[in-house]
Structure 1
C-alpha cells in the first residue's frame, strides 16, 4: 500500500465503522442443533440427523472455537487501529449464530454510523465464501428497512487471499511445522495445502464470469497462494518440497461431484508412494475453527497415525498482528479509492489484487436472491 507516513492515506473516511462478518458457531451443547438448523435452513434436514452431524461439536463440549477466535481478532484489530492512530469503531456480526448480522448492523445504525466497510472471514471467491455473505447483508438491510431505520451503505473489502499479511504468517507456520518433524523425514516431506471442498459446479462458477470454468477463481486463487508459500519455503530452507492442493470437509450428496482429492485419501496415497512425512497447510481457513480442529487435527491426523505417517498441521492466521495490519491496509486502500485517490494495492503471486466491487454474474447464486455490496446490489 501507499506509504503510511502520508496522513491522507491513514484516513478511513468515508467509512465511519468496520464490521467483521463471520460464520458463527455454537458456544455450548444446547446451541449445537439450533446452530445447525440455522446453517441448513430450507434443506429439510430432520433434527435427529442434525444431532448426528453435530457429533463433531459435542466432542469439544458443544463449543466451536470460531467465536473466541473472532473475539481475539476484534481485539487485535482495535489494538492495531489505535496504534496507527485510526479512530474507527469495529463491530462483529455472524451469519448463523449470535451475535447475528442483523443485530450488529442495527447497532451500527443506532450508534449513528452510515458508511460501513465489511471484512468477511473468508479470503477466497466462491458462492459460500463471498456472495452468500453479500446475500446475508442484503437480508439484514431489508430487515432494518422494514423497521424504519436509516440504511447504512455497506462496502465489502476485497478478497485478501494473496495479501502479504495473510500469506506471511502461513509461511512462518509451514516452516515451524517442518522444523518440528523428525529430522530423518523432514527433507522428504510433502506439503498438503487444504481448503474446503465445494461442488465442482460451484467452483467452476466462482469469481467473475471471465474466470468461470476449470475450477474457476476458487481453485486458481488457492493454487496461486500455494505456489507463493512453496517458493517462500524454498527460499528459507533451500528445499523444493513437493506439494498438492487437496480438499476437506465435504458435506454434499454422494452423487454430486465435489472437488477432490480428500485430505485423508491424499495421505493414504502419500504413504503408499513411500513419502516419509507430510505437513497439512490449511490455506483455505482464516482461523482454527471446527473444520480445522476436527477434520484435520482429529480425523486426518488420526488417519496418518493409522498409516504410521508422521504429519504436522501448520497454523492458520487467526489473530496474528500481521493479519490485523493487513485488514487495516485493505480498509485504507478502499477508503482512498472511494475518495478518488490512487493507491498501491498489496498482492503476492500472479493474480494481482482482487476487485473491489463484485460484478454481475460473479459467484452466481443457487437461486435468485438480492445481494448487497456488489454491482447488482439493490441498495445504493
Structure 2
C-alpha cells in the first residue's frame, strides 16, 4: 500500500454529527436532548418543533449521514485506505457514547473524528469536543479502556468542500430565467450565532470582530464568487447573510437575516438571487425549512426569482477530501512533513485546538484539544 494511504496510527474514523428525529414521536424528545439544562417547557418545544412536523417529524440529517458514510466507505475502499468508519450523534440515535462503546469493544484505540461542521465556533467545534469528553468520562466510569481521540482540522477551505459549492451556484444561476440571470445577486448563507460567540471563535489570536467564524465564511464566499466570475465572465454582487436564529431577542446575533436581505435586494431592484448555504454540510432541516420554506416564501411574496444551490452532502469530491484530511493527519502523527491542502487567504487550520479556542460560557472539559483531560 502506498505510504500516503497509510492511516497509522489511526484505526478508525468517527463521523460525529448533530442528529435528528426520524418520526413525529421523536421530535419533542429530540428537542429535549438539544435544549437539556435550559428549562424549556414541553409545550414550548412542541411549538418549536412545528417545522419538523411539516416534514412528517423526520429530519433529513440522519439519511444524509448514512449517504455520507456510504460515500466515505466506498472512497476509502477504492483507494486502498483500510480504515473502518463509524457514526455517532450528539442528540439522537446512534448516540455518541453508544458508538464509542462499540468502537472500544471492536478494539479501536486511536480514533479520528470528522465533525459535520466545517468552521470554527463553539457550537461547531468545541461543543463537539465537550460531547466527546462527556462520552469518554462515561466509559471511564464504566471501567472501559479509553481510546485516544483526535479531531480532523476544519475543512471549510479544502478544494473538495469548495468545488461542489461552486458547481452548485453555477447550476442555480443557469436555472434562472435568462433575462434575470446576469443581474442575479449571490446570498451566501450560514447559521447565525450570538455576536459574542462569533467574536471569540477560533484561537485567541483570532478573536475580535466576528472572530474566525465570520472570517472563514467570508473567505469561502470570496472563493466561490471569484470562481463564478472566472467561469461565467459575470461579476455577481454577493453578501454573507445569516439564518436560523434561535436566541432571546435582546441578545445580538449575527445579521442580516436572509429574509431581511431578500427584502432589501428587492427594494434595490435586484432581479434575482441565488441562495448558497455555504455554512452547512448537507441539506438538513435548517436548509429545508429556513431557506426552502421560509426564505422562498418571502421571495415569492416579493415576486423575486430565487434559486437555492446545493450543499456538499455526500458528493464524491467531499469524500475524497475527507480521505485527504485523514492521510494528511496520519502522516503528521507519524512525524512526516505534510503540505496541507487549502484554498484562499487563511491557509489550513490547526490540527489541535489550542487552549482558549472557541471558549464556552461555562468552562467544561473538552477532548481532542490542547486542553484535553484525555491526552
* TM-score, scaled relative to structure 1: 0.98
1:25 and 2:20 aligned: yes
Q: Please state how far the C-alpha of 1:8 moved relative to its aligned partner.
A: 1.2
Give 1:375 deviation, angstroms.
Answer: 0.3
Query: Is 1:324 the equivalent of 2:319?
Result: yes
> Any stretches of 5+ residues in structure 2 without a counterpart?
none
Residue of structure 2 aligned with 1:207, choices 166, 187, 202: 202
Correspondent of 1:108 among 99, 103, 106: 103
Q: Residue 307 of structure 2: SS of its match in structure 1?
A: strand
The match for 2:87 is 92
Aligned match of 1:3: none
CA distance in 2, matches of 1:68, 1:242: 34
Task: Provide Cα deviations, 1:239-264, integer angstroms capped at 9, x if missing partner.
Answer: 11000000000000000000000000
Partner residue of 2:355? 360
User: Hey, what does 1:133 align to over in structure 2?
Assistant: 128
Structure 1 counterpart of 2:212: 217
User: What does residue range 285-324 of structure 1 map to in structure 2 within 5 Å?
Assistant: 285-324=280-319
Instruction: Tell me the CA shift for residue 87 of structure 1.
Output: 1.3
Which whole-Å deviations, capped at 9, do the CAs of 1:100-136 have from their partners, x for residues lacking one? 0000011000000100000000000000000000000
1:259 is aligned to: 254
- 1:109-165 CA-to-partner distances (Å, cap 9, x unmatched) read 000010000000000000000000000000000000011110000000000000000
Measure the CA separation in 2 of the matches of 1:302 and 1:284.
21
- Number of residue-to-residue matches in the alignment: 375
Q: Which residue number in structure 1 is paired with residue 192 of structure 2?
A: 197
CA deviation digits over 1:281-312, x for unaligned, max 9?
A: 00000000000000000000000000000000
Q: What pairs up with 1:330-345 in 2 under 5 angstroms?
A: 330-345=325-340
Counterpart for residue 188 of structure 1: 183
Give 1:41's aligned residue. 36
Q: Residues of 1 paired with 2:329 and 2:164: CA distance?
A: 23
Q: Which one of 44, 49, 52 corresponds to residue 57 of structure 1?
A: 52
Q: What is the aligned partner in structure 2 of residue 277 from structure 1?
A: 272
Give deviations 1:25-78, integer Å, cap 9, x for gaps.
000000000000000000000000000000000000000000000000000000
Distance, in Å, in 2 between the alignment partners of 1:208 and 1:345 is: 19
Match of 2:154 in 1: 159
Secondary structure (helix, strand or coil) at the match of 2:82 reads: coil
Deviations 1:158-204 (A, max 9, x none): 00000000000000000000000000000000000000000000000
CA distance in 1, matches of 2:361, 2:234: 43
Unaligned regions of 5+ residues in structure 1, if any?
1-5
Note the C-alpha offset of 1:88: 1.0
TM-fit CA distance, 1:7: 1.2
Q: String of CA shifts for 1:5-28, please: whole Å, max 9, x gaps.
A: x81111000000000000000000
Q: Hey, what's the Cα distance between the residues in 1 that align with 2:218 and 2:363?
A: 30
CA distances 1:332-369 after superposition (whole Å, capped 9, x unpaired): 00000000001111100000000000000000012010
Q: 2:87 matched to 1:69?
A: no
Q: Which residue matches 1:346?
A: 341
**What SS is found at the alignment partner of 1:294?**
helix
Alpha-carbon distance between aligned partners in 2 of 1:237 and 1:177, rounded to the nearest angstrom: 13
Residue 369 of structure 2 corresponds to 374
After TM superposition, the score normalised by the length of structure 2 is 1.00
Task: Indicate the RMSD between aligned Cα atoms, in angstroms.
Answer: 0.6
Q: Distance in 2 between matches of 1:369 and 1:56?
A: 31
